Amino acid sequence: MRKFLVMWQKELTGHFLSSTAYLTMCVFLAVTGWTFVWTLSKNEAPGDPLTVLIAISVTMWMPIVITVVTMGLFAEEKRSGTLESLLTVPVTEWQVVMAKYAGAMSFVVVMVAPTAGYLFILPAVGVQMPSLDLGSLLAGYSILALIVGFCTAMGLLISLLTRNQVVSAIACFCAVCIPFVMGGVSRAVPQPASDVLAYLAADEHLLAFARGMVDTRPIVLYVSGTMLALFLAVRVLESRRWT
């Protein structure tokens, strides 16, 4: 446990020591803010609730954020050889994977959490907004956290498969985009395929939760998906031991 904490702390400081982190954070907050204001201006009565608007604005940029955060997690350590020094001290593969994952997740949470502030800043500066349902807000951000958790685990797994950050970034971006476009795809295909795809549609889940419709099925999906991706990551890391 102590070694996990040591590595987690290293990951966090690693994220916050790089200039790309601050750049990503600033650009992310700027574009989501702009997207939110734009959707707000297009939202005519009766329109969607505020929580849906913020969900749309944040989700739109999520694949890029997750790609930037996860692409270097292992690819960079493999390229520079530090993975070798990391795995020759007495730590287990599980500790390494969990620390990397926790570090990336903490960073994404720190980046995304301030977007909730838009909902409170805009009325304060005198912008007319529809009323806000706090329950839906909580539900929306909870499912967003689960989806992001799943996508980050996927990104981590992909980063482990290559030593090239560019390959890692492109593959990760494609993989992360898939759940977010599944809603549109599911509407375009006939049953029963559409039912299956709808179950995997992150965009649909997010909008449903943001409307306050909490459902346990997506929660099971993302929690088990995350565990599977992390389990596979540990096995891949151990696979250098298989001959």
Partner 1 sequence: MIKVHHLVRRYGSHTVLDDISLEVQRGEVVGLLGPNGAGKTTTMRVLSGFLPPTSGEVRVGGYDVVTQSLDARRRIGYLPENVPLYPELRVLEYLTYRARLKGLHGSRRRRGVQKVLALCGLEDVRKRIIGQLSKGYRQRVGLADSLIGDPELLILDEPSLGLDPNQRRDLRDLIRRLGADHTVLLSSHLLTEVEAICDRTIIIHQGHVVASDTPRNIAGALMGHRVVSAEVRGPRDQIAAAIESLEHVMESEIIGEESGWFHLRVQCAKDVDVRARVAAVVVSNGWELRDLRAEVDGFEDAFIEMIRELNRA
Is 82 near partner 1 (CB under 8 A)? yes
Question: Which residues inside 12-41 make contact with partner 1, applying CB under 8 A?
Answer: 14, 17-18
Task: Provide the Cα torsion 157, 146, 129, 28; round to 10°.
Answer: -20
Q: Tell me how far apart the alpha carbons of residues 130 and 43 are, in angstroms, rounded to a whole number.
A: 10
Is 224 near partner 1 (CB under 8 A)? no
Of 23, 26, 47, 84, the residue at the interface with partner 1 (CB under 8 A) is 84
> Amino acid identity of 120?
F
Query: DSSP character for 90?
Result: S
Is 240 near partner 1 (CB under 8 A)? yes
Region near partner 1 per CB under 8 A, out of 76-84, 110-118, 164-172, 226-234: 76-84
Residue 232's contacts (CB-CB under 8 Å, 6 or more residues apart) are 157
Is 187 near partner 1 (CB under 8 A)? no
- Count of residues touching partner 1 (by CB under 8 A): 25
Q: Which residue number, 48 or 238, has a Cβ lying nearer to partner 1? A: 238
Q: How far is the CB of 100 from partner 1 (least distance, A)?
A: 14
71 phi and psi, to 5 degrees? -60, -35
Could you tell me the two tokens for 43? 């939202």
> Amino acid identity of 209?
F
Residue ranges in contact with partner 1 by CB under 8 A: 2-3, 6-7, 10, 14, 17-18, 80-92, 240-243
